[in-house]
């Protein structure tokens, strides 16, 4: 067994947890500041402060300080559970953490006041097992595309939870001085498990936060910041790929060009805030109307573009009309008394496949024909009425 005294192991745990906190804060939390990162930072901070308190209590032989340290470490385990819940998009509940901390502190304090450390040890071990085990369960339930990223910590958390709960049973049935107990659940092994768990949790959360940050940057590079639709570059990239698949499958594909009516006049008369509200309303109308397989992007300014696979021009007309209906349902623009409308131009591949550039050109000419004929309408091809 590992024959390391409690004080030495607590100093090591305090140092490791403090270093992990600094690394996590600098390398991950400061850049993302997500709820998940906040919970994991709190967990490491509680581990660090609990280790320091327990070390001070051990050295100075002050039982209340050690009892408070045990309670704070129980809260640290609960924060792991809170972080795991936030990863699943579920709310983190505060009261179980408080219950773990207060319960552990109270039992430990009561036991130490009469010279019996067994109840406090058992309470601390059970609290750690519950908090860490609950985190492992949450991570396992999440089993998704991120499972590979959290798998190592989920396994380590499961091992740690089982170990702490088994040690609680051992300390209650065998006693903390029993040779068999010491050989299986010695102090060195216990704190080694805690250190490995802490390092595993911090490295996993750092990797996840960095991956999330990368995904956010990628999203910012592909989406229009105002409407949330694809930006022009990303739309054209995905449209080329989708058009090739439609050609290979022999299905009809439609391109829709859209332009917000009298947008410059709205901007000039009512200001850019109102203009931005019109753009956002149109983006929302598109999301409420198109299918998940359709592509929608902001082409530039007040002009938008769509690629509708497996849709002929008449079917695309119905989509365009529905977008205008949804846009009208938003009501008059605030403070203007005007309704936002859009004009549409459509071209499809029913007469034979062509390039994306040609389809956009045909749809664009149809759009200008729609605007020339009074706006708030849809045209197909080179001037055909829809």
Q: Over the chain, what is the mean pLDDT?
A: 83
Give the pLDDT score at 136: 84
**Pairwise pLDDT comparison (159 vs 217), residue with the higher score:** 159
CA distances to 155, 193, 197, 207 from 148, in Å: 11, 22, 17, 11
* Measured distance CA(81)–CA(140) in Å, rounded: 12
Task: Name the least confident of 75-89, 214-228, 301-315, 347-361.
Answer: 214-228
The values of phi and psi at residue 224, to 5°, are: -75, 125
* Measured distance CA(194)–CA(157) in Å, rounded: 10
Burial class, 362, CB count within 10 angstroms (exposed 0-12 / middle 13-18 / buried 19+): buried
- Are 384 and 276 a contacting pair, CB within 8 Å? no
- Are 303 and 344 a contacting pair, CB within 8 Å? no
Concatenate the DSSP letters of all residues of 46-81 into one string: HHHHHHHHHHHHHHHT-HHHHHHHHHHHHHHHHHHH
* Measured distance CA(241)–CA(244) in Å, rounded: 5
Give the pLDDT score at 336: 64
Give the pLDDT score at 334: 67
- CATH number of the structural domain 6-221: 1.20.1070
In the structure encoding, which two tokens stand for residue 215, read together?
Answer: 């995904």
| Mean pLDDT within 208-212 | 67
| Mean pLDDT within 234-258 | 90
- Are 12 and 191 a contacting pair, CB within 8 Å? yes
Domain boundaries, the chain: 6-221, 232-385
Query: Residue 31: which H helix or E strand, with range?
Result: helix 30-32
Residue in the block written with tokens 């989509």: 319
User: SS3 for 175?
Assistant: coil
Partners of 343 in the β-ladder: 259
Give the pLDDT score at 199: 78
Confidence bin at 147 (pLDDT 50/70/90): low
Give the pLDDT score at 384: 47
In the structure encoding, which two tokens stand for residue 133, read together?
Answer: 């085990």
* Measured distance CA(373)–CA(183) in Å, rounded: 89
Q: Which stretches within 223-332 are classed as H helix?
A: 232-249, 263-270, 272-289, 313-329
- Is residue 335 over pLDDT 50? yes
CATH 3.40.50.1370 fits 232-385, yes or no: no
In the structure encoding, which two tokens stand for residue 93, read together?
Answer: 């509940």
Buried b (16+ CB within 10 A) or exposed e, 20-39: bbeebeeebbeebebbbbbb
Kindly report, residue by residue over 115-128, the tens digit of the pLDDT: 888 888 899 899 99
- Is residue 253 over pLDDT 90? yes
- Is residue 3 over pLDDT 70? no
The values of phi and psi at residue 259, to 5°, are: -140, 130
| Mean pLDDT within 32-55 | 82
* Measured distance CA(181)–CA(159) in Å, rounded: 18
**Pairwise pLDDT comparison (249 vs 212), residue with the higher score:** 249
Confidence bin at 23 (pLDDT 50/70/90): confident
**Percent of the chain whose predicted confidence (pLDDT) is above 70:** 88
**Percent of the chain whose predicted confidence (pLDDT) is above 90:** 23
Q: Report pTM.
A: 0.57
**Pairwise pLDDT comparison (258 vs 60), residue with the higher score:** 258
- Is residue 149 over pLDDT 90? no
Confidence bin at 319 (pLDDT 50/70/90): very high
Kindly report, residue by residue over 170-192, the tens digit of the pLDDT: 888 888 888 888 777 877 777 77
| Mean pLDDT within 88-96 | 82
**Pairwise pLDDT comparison (205 vs 292), residue with the higher score:** 292
For 290, residues 6+ apart whose C-beta sits below 8 A from its C-beta are: 296, 306, 308, 319
């Amino acid at each position: 067994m590992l024959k390391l005294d409690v004080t030495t192991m607590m100093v090591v745990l305090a140092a490791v947890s403090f270093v992990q906190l600094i690394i996590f804060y600098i390398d991950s939390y400061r850049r993302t500041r997500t709820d998940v990162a906040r919970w994991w930072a709190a967990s490491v901070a509680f581990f660090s402060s609990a280790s320091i308190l327990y070390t001070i209590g051990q050295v100075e032989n002050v039982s209340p300080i050690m009892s408070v340290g045990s309670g704070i470490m129980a809260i640290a385990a609960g924060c792991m559970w809170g972080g795991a819940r936030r990863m699943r998009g579920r709310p983190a509940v505060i009261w179980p953490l408080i219950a773990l901390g207060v319960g552990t502190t109270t039992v430990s304090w009561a036991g130490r006041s009469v010279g019996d450390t067994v109840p406090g040890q058992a309470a601390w071990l059970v609290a750690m097992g519950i908090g860490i085990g609950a985190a492992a369960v949450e991570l396992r339930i999440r089993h998704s595309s991120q499972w590979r990223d959290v798998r190592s910590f989920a396994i380590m958390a499961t091992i740690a939870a089982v170990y702490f709960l088994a040690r609680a049973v051992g300390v209650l049935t065998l006693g903390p001085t029993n040779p068999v107990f010491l050989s299986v659940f010695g102090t060195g092994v216990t704190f080694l498990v805690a250190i490995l768990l802490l390092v595993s949790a911090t490295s996993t959360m750092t990797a996840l936060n960095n991956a999330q940050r990368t995904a956010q940057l990628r999203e910012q590079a592909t989406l229009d910041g105002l409407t949330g639709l694809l930006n022009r570059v990303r739309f054209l990239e995905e449209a080329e790929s989708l058009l090739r698949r439609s050609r290979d499958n022999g299905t009809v594909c439609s391109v829709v060009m859209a332009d917000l009516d009298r947008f410059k006049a709205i901007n000039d008369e009512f200001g850019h805030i109102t203009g931005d509200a019109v753009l956002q309303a149109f983006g929302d109308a598109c999301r409420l109307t198109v299918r998940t397989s359709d592509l929608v992007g902001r082409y530039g300014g007040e002009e938008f573009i769509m690629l509708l696979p497996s849709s002929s021009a008449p079917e695309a007309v119905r989509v365009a009309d529905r977008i205008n209906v949804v846009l009208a349902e938003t009501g008059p623009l605030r403070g203007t008394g005007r309704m936002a409308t859009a004009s549409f131009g459509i071209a499809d591949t029913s007469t034979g496949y062509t390039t994306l550039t040609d389809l956009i050109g045909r749809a664009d000419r149809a759009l200008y024909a729609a605007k020339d004929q009074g706006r708030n309408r849809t045209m197909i091809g080179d001037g055909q009425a829809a």
